[in-house]
Structure 1
């Protein structure tokens, strides 16, 4: 029986990426696909803050083809650091107003590696530009960021958001890109904020009502920074917002080992619980996976 795995932010951590895929029995010791008909979803941020983003992307692109040849699937989502790398490739030495200074300098301050930029080829750029921003997998809404305004500002359906961001990726309008990159810095939209009167679970519920699904699965915000624990001990996702959200960013660039999260098959298989956009989500208590 096929299983579905989700992998969070890699951030250039090639060796850790190999390790987590091998532990999940998705690649062998030759780094070739051995996952059969399993499905893997990468939630973006292949680059920055780590030594070898290009090697990680090359591996993912290669095993994507290998998996497809035996009935498996690999998919990626657009992360903010992936979008930033594309922007630097296109506008790197342009002055920015929202971000401040040269874009390439801002990118380097955020962990950008010149070695990745120098080794970036057109086939990498095309692959990255074609990544969707959102996917609905069974009852799970997959996105890179724990963000609300970012996604809703580009559409009120998965199809609209993906279509509009796909168009933006091919735009040479620097103002549009600056706006997008600034908005992509949003995070922790689904956490409570008593001072601001924010109910994170309610925002997550609204988000799911707009786009569909029973649970938001995201990366973007490292779990160690949220739970204030050493990155080395983070080997499982963080479920929060009354079970409506699950964070799988293990903080690999901070020192975490990383993990491939297997989506529980029972949630995907109960078709009668699948919720359509516009309806209220049922209570979903999964606990800490």
Structure 2
């Protein structure tokens, strides 16, 4: 059965520069008492608000109740649960609540807020069920239904093809009042590895909630395909964006070629598109590049809308952040704003051929690895600003020629060694795809990197 066939056009919505809070993370807040007119019109919404008192402070004595009233009514009303709080232990904190003072003073990730003085009772945390999906590209035990293992689809390059350099350009300091800057490489559905990497950097706590205060976190794209839980990855990033904003930081993401691919597979399915090598379809390309049935079955409109609004390129503290190591971004505008607006317009026009051309250009790679690489990076920096490009997309083992290479004994290496981000092209480019899909590492790193 064709995935995505018969889908209607997606309604265009206003483009925002930041994440919208997902529906399940929105917490209604009533900070002021209801007016008398509103109470008369909506008696069901007139619920007493909890009153905060200092330790040792006694509650005021209530006025004598009218004998005609139910003597138990006042006690029952005072103890009623707030209907806006809900029972879900996983919903985000109130976004209007200021960040704790201790967290603001430390400014570092890993500082959990102290809530011992909160006057509002917290719902008990339900124990989390252990995850059951595999953590490897090919599960050790019985693979889940619909899991599609993929094979290598990138060319092997020699180590000498990459221009290495230790020199690093001067980086701009973080703007005053903002926390440290972190970036995350390609995730490709490896949710457990992502959670472990974020926790290791102190960005989330043991329950998977934001714990980094005003830290800034950027994902470089490619959340789905190849790995077992791409939709789970998207759900996590959407929730963290709401929690980080409430704590004074932010968690944002860029558009990768696999976001364009899964959007196209859902919208256009087997609709033929014009390609340089003949007729192609998004559906076939998605399956060929690691598309997982489990992701497509769970893909909802909220995921599609969120991915469709992602920017393609941004500049942070002198770092030009983008997904792909290509100069194709220059085809879409001479400023960062122009590029992002053009990409959003193409996606919202819902034209299969245009979306295919955009996807193919975002799939290009290796523009910075050879002798002409430094000049290609300088062209991007001169056009869009910044002193260094930070990208994902091309796995570091391929940039280093370590996949398929032979060791000293003449045997082929099976697991590439990735120690961290790869700085190359005269120190002007940083690669962040650690090759998690090929037994490498899922990278999370703080910028700027040490030279």
Q: Which residue of 2 aligns with 1:217?
A: 390
1:31 and 2:204 aligned? no
Aligned-pair distance for 1:79? 0.1
Aligned-pair CA distance for 1:28: 1.1
1:229-244 pair list within 5 angstroms: 229=402, 233-244=417-428
Between Structure 1 and Structure 2, the one with more helix by share is: 1
TM-score (norm: length of structure 1): 0.87
Unaligned runs of 5+ in 1: 194-198, 266-285
Name the counterpart of 1:131: 310
Residue matched to 2:346: 168
State the partner residue of 2:83.
none
Name 2:228's counterpart in structure 1. 51
Show the 5 A alignment for 1:1-289: 1=107, 2-98=179-275, 100-148=279-327, 150-192=328-370, 199-229=372-402, 233-264=417-448, 287=451
Q: SS at 2:346's partner residue?
A: helix
Q: Distance in 1 between matches of 2:292 and 2:304?
A: 16
Return the TM-score normalized by structure 2.
0.56
Which structure: larger Rg?
2
**Separation in 1, partners of 2:281, 2:421:** 36
| Distance of 1:50 and 1:62 partners within structure 2 | 20
In structure 2, what is the Cα distance between the partners aligned to 1:213 and 1:101?
37
Paired residue secondary structure (2:332): coil
Query: What is the Cα deviation at residue 232 of structure 1?
Result: 5.3
| Larger displacement relative to structure 2 (221-230 or 204-213) | 221-230
Deviation, structure 1 residue 59: 0.6
* Alignment size in residue pairs: 261
Q: Secondary structure at the match of 1:56?
A: helix
Question: Shift of the alpha carbon at 1:96?
Answer: 2.6
SS in 2 for 1:246: strand
Q: Which moved more, 1:233-242 or 1:184-193?
A: 184-193
Provide the C-alpha distance between the structure 2 equivalents of 1:44 and 1:36, rounded to a whole number of angstroms. Answer: 23
Q: Note the C-alpha offset of 1:231.
A: 5.1
Q: State whether residues 235 and 259 of structure 1, in contact with CA within 8 Å, keep that contact through their aligned partners in structure 2.
A: no
The answer on whether the counterparts of 2:282 and 2:356 sit within 8 Å (CA) in structure 1 is: no
Runs of 4+ aligned residues of structure 1 deviating over 4 Å after TM superposition are: none
**What is the CA distance between 1:10 and its match in structure 2?**
0.3
Gaps of 5+ in 2: 1-106, 108-178, 403-413
Aligned equivalents of 2:415, 2:283: Cα separation in 1? 29
Matches of 1:75 and 1:84, distance apart in 2 = 20
SS of 2:349's equivalent in the other structure is coil
Q: Counterpart in 1 of 2:34? A: none
* RMSD, matched Cα: 1.5
Between 38-47 and 254-263, report the one with greater CA deviation.
254-263
Could you tell me how far apart the structure 2 residues matched to 1:186 and 1:228 are?
A: 18
Deviation per residue, 1:149-171 (Å, 9 max, x gap): x2011111101000000111112
Give yes or no for contact 1:232–1:257 (8 Å, CA) kept in 2.
Answer: no
> Match of 2:374, SS?
helix
How far apart, in 1, do the equivalents of 2:416 and 2:193 lie?
Answer: 12
